Structure 1
Amino acid sequence: MRSHIIATIFSKEIKEVLRDKRMLYLIILLPFFLYPVLFTLIGGVGASQQEKLMQQEIAVWVSPNAVDTPLPDLLAQDPSLKVEMKAFAEADLEGQKRTMGIQLPDDYQERLNNGQSAEIVIYADQSQDVLNMRERILRTQLTGLGDQLLNERLASKELSPEFANPLSIDSVDLSPEESGDRMMVAFLPMMILLFIFIGCIYIAIDITAGEKERRTLQTLFTTTASTKEIVAGKFLAVAAVGIVSATMNILSLVVAMNIQAYLLEEESAGMAMNLAPEAWVWLVILVLLTTLFLGALSLAVVLLANSYKEAQSYVSPLMMVVLIPAMMAIMPGVELNMQTALIPVFNVALSIVAILKGNFDTSMLAIVAAASFVYGILALYLASLSFGNENIITGEKVNWKALLGK
């Protein structure tokens, strides 16, 4: 193959991508700005709504026998709670808006004096967000009150707080320090594969079915360029856009997640990767090989369409080829082994999960890389068969037996 012809075709396709402002904005520029803006809005609205919920006035009905208990003082700490001492039944709260009830047993104080346990029941319609949040806050406060009463009991018996807690359970996380956080491990493999596919599929549609519809693809075959050179040039363009699209989307997603974590004041919720250099090398290799496979597969499939609209109908089935294995890879108990290492896309998703967790096996990653390379070559060969079939290029009826027989 002549490298200068391949470079010319590649340059031509890239220039067309850069001229197509819609594709440029949709695949590369829009995602880079969309996620930070979107997550900033979500984080800002979420924080604002949470503050509004905390400021809403809530009516709290408390059974009268709670008068001489610490409960009224505990509720009085929140000025948004309108406390009313009254006897009520569960049915009385049905249909009430922003109203919750706290029921103490009639022998509440007697049970506490006898060293027994007294049950406090909180009634709240938890389908109402404001009541659901207040119920959780109130339960935490009452748990603290219970701990205080327990310490008083232990002190009266001259016992240390450790007496009521005979076993102290702790756990040590032995996962490598360089592993990524759990949120990133769960979602990043799927995001990487999805963004690579999105970047590949739309340029693949434009330079195959789109050119067939514009009658420019047929013209290309009248030049001195061979079929292999045409496939190589177009494939390199698809792969380049796929890698750029994935990189821009992932960077944007990481920035967006950290912005949201900052707005919600949850620093641990941010996305950060502290991977070893070897892990980064394997991650780059797998992304490149996945782009090779998905780019070639996209070219081979969408070339069968005779129009841009028809090619778009192939997007959803192909997307399932990416999404389903990626989602299965984060299921509990699914691991990278000799069997799963040979399943296309699924093996890459499992490898990325292992890399982010920091417990990857280099030999298994090598097997995945080799398998992905083979699948990519097979997809490229399939694409070359499609490009080399005159009926497919001209949009006529295809003899599948003759095509696949090659």
Structure 2
Amino acid sequence: MSRANVLTIYRKELRDLLRDRRTIISMIVVPTLVIPLITAVVGFISFRVVRQARATVPTVMVVGGVDSPRALAALAAEQRIKTQPATDDWRQRISDKVVRAAVEIPPGFDAALERGEAATVRIYNYEGEMRSGFAVSEVRRFFTEYRDRVITARLQGHGLPATLVKPFDVRTENVAPPEKVGGNVIGGVVPYLVLLLCFTGAMYPAMDLTAGEKERGTMETILCSPVSRLDLVLGKFFMVLTASLGTVVCALISMAVTFTVGGSVLAKMLGGGGASRALAELPSVNPWGVVAVLGMVLPMAVLFSAVLLTISLFAKSFKEAQSYVSPLIVLIILPAVVGILPGVELNAQLALVPILNVSLVSKELVSGVWQWPYLALIFGSSCVYAAAALALAVRMFNREDVIFRT
């Protein structure tokens, strides 16, 4: 292997790819501008929609309760709920999102409370619908407070303190640092995004340096040059690896700037106050953990680059290479998504599963948890997979029936 030849091929391929519009779009424009812009827009719209839904007074239909005027009056006086009499099709109206929920007050509800008998209030909702869920929360809160007032009145009537039925309070207090909280909240998204960008960043350069060369008729010219096949493969490989890692770095820098600058801008646009406090209290992540994630992703970038080079080499045209490579995105997404799922914990067996192992350990790293035995096992196994993939790519480049497949 000649380092000078590898470097010459690398510079030549880098110069050619930087002149390619598709490479610039996939490597720089999309991760640096498009993805952060989409993330910021979606986050802003989601924040506004949720805040507006919470601020909207939900419409709730009242089923029954004609013989319980006190309960009806208390419910009608509740300012955070808008009540209206139930119609015959109230179930359908909830399904059609005309009203958000319905509450059924059982017959003789007031009288049952006077006698100290148990009664059941039923709340009907649209399961999974956000505004219906907010309405149910408000109705449930009202009847919980109404029940507490009834209990307090009964105790006072007998000269007993209210603490008799509520002798103590239970409060929850977080003791985890913000980095660990942030890691649990968004720790699964970071490796998912990094792995996906690492793969997509290598896609177009790998296809262009193999199938694209065949389609342009320049593959034969390159093979006739006085360099070994090993130098040729390594030069192309390092170019694809550069594109993969460059895409990830550009995306992370752009996302960091977007969240840092966009957070303050969003707070001003939303008018400060509670919105500003909510944004200020957003969980953070461990910056050294993010750096460690990049280190763990490095063998994956080598693996992706080598595999994409090998598969694209079998194609006779750029379009054919796309049909071979595009389905592989599913193989990247599925393990990364499994790593996000709650309850999936890192162990010795999963530490040997490519992509999934990096996704799982990255969640821990972003949270500031450093499991050194697993880190060593994952990094070592990933390097073995990457080396095997690179060796396969070199072998395929040495086969004439693969390069000149017809």
Question: Is contact 2:22-2:204 (8 Å) kept?
Answer: no
| In 2, Cα distance between equivalents of 1:352 and 1:129 | 31
Q: The residue matched to 1:313 in structure 2 has which SS? A: helix
Equivalent residue number for residue 223 of structure 1: 225
CA deviations on 1:5-63 (whole Å, 9 max, x unpaired) are 22222122222222122331233222332234323433444455453796588474463
Q: Does 1:11 align with 2:2?
A: no
Which stretch of structure 1 is more off in the superposition, 370-379 or 343-352? 343-352
Structure 2 unpaired stretches of 5+: none
CA 309–330 in structure 1, closer or farther in 2 if over 3 Å, else same: same
Which stretch of structure 1 is more off in the superposition, 238-247 or 357-366? 357-366
Question: Superposition pairs for residues 6-405 of structure 1, below 5 Å?
Answer: 6-49=6-49, 51=52, 58=59, 60-61=61-62, 63-69=65-71, 71-78=72-79, 81=82, 83-84=84-85, 91-96=88-93, 98-99=98-99, 101-123=102-124, 130-165=131-166, 178-179=179-180, 180-253=182-255, 265=275, 266-267=278-279, 270=282, 272-275=284-287, 277=288, 279-280=289-290, 282-396=292-406
Question: Is contact 1:254-1:272 (8 Å) kept?
Answer: no
CA deviations on 1:273-300 (whole Å, 9 max, x unpaired) are 125x4x4554232121211111111111
**How many pairs were matched up?**
389
Taking only aligned residues, the RMSD between alpha carbons, in angstroms, comes to 3.5
CA deviations on 1:295-323 (whole Å, 9 max, x unpaired) are 11111111111111111112234223322
What is the letter of the counterpart of residue 9 of structure 2? I
| In 2, Cα distance between equivalents of 1:95 and 1:372 | 55
CA deviations on 1:342-372 (whole Å, 9 max, x unpaired) are 3322322222133234333212211221221
CA 287–131 in structure 1, closer or farther in 2 if over 3 Å, else same: closer
Question: Is contact 2:31-2:250 (8 Å) kept?
Answer: yes
Structure 1 unpaired stretches of 5+: 397-406
Question: Is contact 2:179-2:283 (8 Å) kept?
Answer: no
Question: Is contact 2:81-2:139 (8 Å) kept?
Answer: no
Percent identity over the alignment? 28
Question: Is contact 2:7-2:235 (8 Å) kept?
Answer: yes
Question: Is contact 2:26-2:200 (8 Å) kept?
Answer: no
TM-score by length of structure 2 reads 0.81
Note the C-alpha offset of 1:155: 4.3
Q: The residue matched to 2:23 in structure 1 has which SS? A: helix
| In 1, Cα distance between equivalents of 2:185 and 2:220 | 48
CA deviations on 1:252-293 (whole Å, 9 max, x unpaired) are 556667858966945389563125x4x455423212121111
TM-score by length of structure 1 reads 0.81
What is the letter of the counterpart of residue 29 of structure 1? V
What is the letter of the counterpart of residue 136 of structure 1? S
| In 1, Cα distance between equivalents of 2:83 and 2:169 | 39
Which stretch of structure 1 is more off in the superposition, 196-205 or 183-192? 183-192
| In 2, Cα distance between equivalents of 1:68 and 1:339 | 62
| In 1, Cα distance between equivalents of 2:354 and 2:60 | 58
| In 1, Cα distance between equivalents of 2:107 and 2:77 | 22
Q: The residue matched to 1:329 in structure 2 has which SS? A: helix
Question: Is contact 1:189-1:349 (8 Å) kept?
Answer: yes
| In 1, Cα distance between equivalents of 2:349 and 2:311 | 27
Question: Is contact 2:57-2:80 (8 Å) kept?
Answer: no
